A and B are shown apart, each in its own frame.
Chain A
Amino acid sequence: AQKITQTQPGMFVQEKEAVTLDCTYDTSDQSYGLFWYKQPSSGEMIFLIYQGSYDEQNATEGRYSLNFQKARKSANLVISASQLGDSAMYFCAMREDAHGSGNTGKLIFGQGTTLQVKP
């Protein structure tokens, strides 16, 4: 069964410093996608970054980068130059990409990591 594990319930980082949020996953599929979402206190899920299982390069989006280590089944999020507005809950999620009957593209989420940025 597919599973996402985020082992850090809470993290602190000083403003302007970089922080790494851990995510490991478990799947028997060869084709899958990995996502990171940010959930501020307002509740909406904001898409940050995506990595496909066949992508050879690590994904980057502005201050966000995904450290993808396929053999270790890890997909850690790195936030550079942290800002006060980065304080939120962060979720790692996985989605099957393989075509086949019953594949809806639903996301499997981890438990989340609460990040607090200190001024």
Chain B
Amino acid sequence: GAGVSQSPRYKVAKRGQDVALRCDPISGHVSLFWYQQALGQGPEFLTYFQNEAQLDKSGLPSDRFFAERPEGSVSTLKIQRTQQEDSAVYLCASSPIGVPPYVEAFFGQGTRLTVV
């Protein structure tokens, strides 16, 4: 497809379950970002990849959150032992250039995670 694709679009998990969220960036895009957006709030940065290298994971809220991009394309965000406060929309964004300056990142439609 032409844009950033995320799957699943919606995920309901029971508290304590592990979940995996997938992001297919635009082909050839070097940079990939994950953001977490709580209801009614702005997105907050979680982690950044340049190709397969995870250069910044300062926004991951706990060690239950893990992200990978093993071949420099598709990325997976994994949340272990989900808790209710993990309920949010998880947005993935990609951009074509590894370092600034670049103009904008392209966002996917997000995965809405609800932990019950």
Contacts and interface: CB of A to CB of B under 8 A. Distances in A.
Given A43-B110, A50-B103, A96-B100, A106 B48 contact: yes
A52 B106 CA distance: 18
Interface residues of A, number: 30
Contact of A97 (B41, B93, B100): B100
Interface string A89-112: 001010111110011111111111
B42 A110 contact: yes
User: Which of A46, A50, A106, A107 has the most chain B CB within a 10 Å cutoff?
Assistant: A106
B2 interface: no
Contact of B112 (A43, A96, A109): A43
Nearest to A46: B107
A104 B55 contact: yes
A99 B45 contact: no
A44 interface: yes
A106 B100 contact: no
B33 interface: yes
Interface string A28-43: 0000010101000011
**Which 6 A-B residue pairs are closest in the complex by CB-CB distance?**
A109-B42, A45-B107, A104-B48, A47-B104, A106-B45, A44-B109
Interface of B: 31, 33, 35, 40-45, 48, 50, 55-56, 59, 89, 91, 93, 95, 99-110, 112
